[in-house]
Structure 1
Amino acid sequence: MAEQTMTITAADGVHARPATALVQVAGQYESDVNIEYKGKSVNMKSIMGVMSLGIPNGAEIKFTAEGSDEDQAVEALVQKTKEEGLGE
């Protein structure tokens, strides 16, 4: 299993537009990809799941992936999070 923890720095947190971008990235991989926040884990390939977390500014999140391309999936999500100005 691959995992990476990040802190959300965007003033609006993870709102609809960047969440959609992250879901699209996750959908490109075969691995099971999840995002965790406050002890709750949801499928990164589900926009409704990601939005249900209500991730605010300052939140610590963790991307996890398990499968044949898990490392690439987590790395791509970390990169996209940075590109979208969401976190570090």
Structure 2
Amino acid sequence: MVSTTLKVVAPDGLTGDAVNQLTNELSKYQFKIMLKYQGTTTVATSSLGVMSLGVPGGANFELSVDGTTDQLEKIIQALVDSKMVERL
């Protein structure tokens, strides 16, 4: 797995619409994507799993993929372009 740390841009964090937008975007990919926040990890395509992390606005979290660095970079760029996260 390859991973990186990103920052949540949404002021309310990963809740409601932000989670739906995130999971819909990540569901487009055919490889395993995980989110980790404060020691808890969940499958990034699970709305309930992502909401259970309780990631607040402005917080840093880890995104990892069971794939290549190029696949990770493609996901990061899609999330940055959709204004969901910032690179650190």
State the TM-score, normalized to the length of structure 1: 0.79
Closer, same or farther: CA 83–17 of 1 in aligned 2, 3 Å: farther
- Alignment-derived partner of residue 23 in structure 2: 23
How far did 1:65 drift? 0.7
Tell me which stretches of 4 or more aligned residues in structure 1 moved more than 4 Å. Answer: none
Percent sequence identity over matched residues?
A: 29
Long gaps (5+) in structure 1: none
Aligned residue in 1 for 2:81: 83
Q: What RMSD over aligned residues (CA atoms) do the two structures have, in Å?
A: 2.0
CA deviation vs aligned residue, 1:7-35 (integer Å, no higher than 9, x gap): 22332111211211111122122211100
Q: What code does the residue aligned with 1:48 have?
A: L
Q: Secondary structure at the match of 2:63?
A: strand
Paired residue type of 1:3: S
Distance 1:27 1:87, change over 3 A: closer
Aligned residues: 86
Separation in 1 of the partners of 2:70 and 2:3?
Answer: 8
Which amino acid in 2 is paired with 1:33?
I
SS across alignment from 1:11: coil
